[in-house]
Structure 1
Amino acid sequence: MAEDLVLDTPIRDWVLIPLSVVMVLIGVLRYFVSKLMRSFQVPDPKIVKEGQVVVRARNLRAGANFIPPKSFRSRRFYFSNEENGLLHVPKGQSQNAQAAQMFSDPNMATDMMKKNLSMIIPQTLTFAWVNFFFSGFVAAKIPFPLTQRFRSMLQNGIDLSTVNVSYVSSRSWYFLNLFGLRGLFSLILGEENAVDDTQRMMQMGGFGFDPTKNLSAEKDSIDIIQHEWALPKFEQRAEAVLRKLVH
């Protein structure tokens, strides 16, 4: 049977609150450090152009049924024809263009390394601090019952199977703050917080963003669209409404 514990007040004052405050302060400090280490990058005109093409193609798909069939076919041909379509990717184009772009721009790799260092070093030092000073503490209790599957997540560092699953160890509290404070950072620092900035750089700076795949996927989406002009249906609905009003 799981045992219930009585948490001492000094544990709240000297373990739970300090851990939470330190995690918030480290997140804010990491944001400003990464902001100072950020170097200005001139956007690649090719990537910007291809991104705008993808946006225009998506707008065409979204409003396809509101333009006449002939106009839609001409626009689809303009985007996806095999000779000079905006979404057409030549077969001879290198599949390693993303990696080539990364190596051709040393600032991109340097910025990524700075971002990784600004995230890994504080997390490593903080975890060592928590593991050394607060290991083995039961820091808090969740005010609702949980199943046994949550034991490994909430009671990291406590090897007692008789303790109620609702109790949270200090080490688990560290990980919950590490992965759960993103919303708080968005409120404090705005939407442009450090975590989102790193993710955006990975996507738009060449890491995780492959314009070739986006163009090909959008071309396939436009090719398989079944156009159905919505204007005749609107006319029928308008006639039906007028008949009801007359009668």
Structure 2
Amino acid sequence: MALQGVEQTILRDPALFYWIVFPITVVMILTGILRHYATVLMNNPPKPASTLAESRERLGLIRGVNLRNNASVLSKESFEMRKNYLVSAYQSGAFLKDPAMKLPFPLTIRFKSMLQSGVMTRDLDVRWVSSLSWYFLNLFGLQSVFGFILGSDNAANHMASQMASMNPAAGINPFQPGQDPDKLYQSEAENLEVIEHFCILDGVEERVLAHYAGRKSY
């Protein structure tokens, strides 16, 4: 047990600096440089711009979302006309980039799955740093060194930034690769079919007359 008022210290060989601390720093710098060039070599070519069919497929779903969000500014007739058009287009796959073949005869629901497939000493001076802590200090503290050697847009800095800001609860883009557009269309068609429409202009004449009639009564 350390005596009260006596600073705790560690006796170490001065050569440890050259055999532990300095090698860790050198290895971290070389690892960051190697990671940068490995990422550059393995990086996929840039994705080509969206074609007309891909843009139509993506924006077709947004039309249904916009219709639901702004249905109150449309009359009932205008809303029903737009809803019927979009529901029919969603169910028939009119907006799909690669429309699926539709069989000319009905099938039961059973065919759906087949066909739509550390250090714990309390009194130790805080200036002492463990090798593991020194590793993480180098991991996040060498970004300026990597920026000087490799430039600001380098893979080593990107890796450290991703580790520091890792968030598993990030939102999911509904248009990410792997999403089935047809399923999204069918879901949006159901949302349009069950929406209860109302127009903000319904009964506007009566509301205006009641408003001014109330003002005259005072």
TM superposition score category, shorter chain reference: 0.3 to 0.5
Going by fraction, where is helix more abundant, 1 or 2?
A: 1
TM-score (norm 2): 0.45
Kindly name which structure, 1 or 2, has the bigger radius of gyration based on alpha carbons: 2
TM-score (norm 1): 0.41
Q: Which has the higher contact order (CA 8 A, sep 6+)?
A: 2
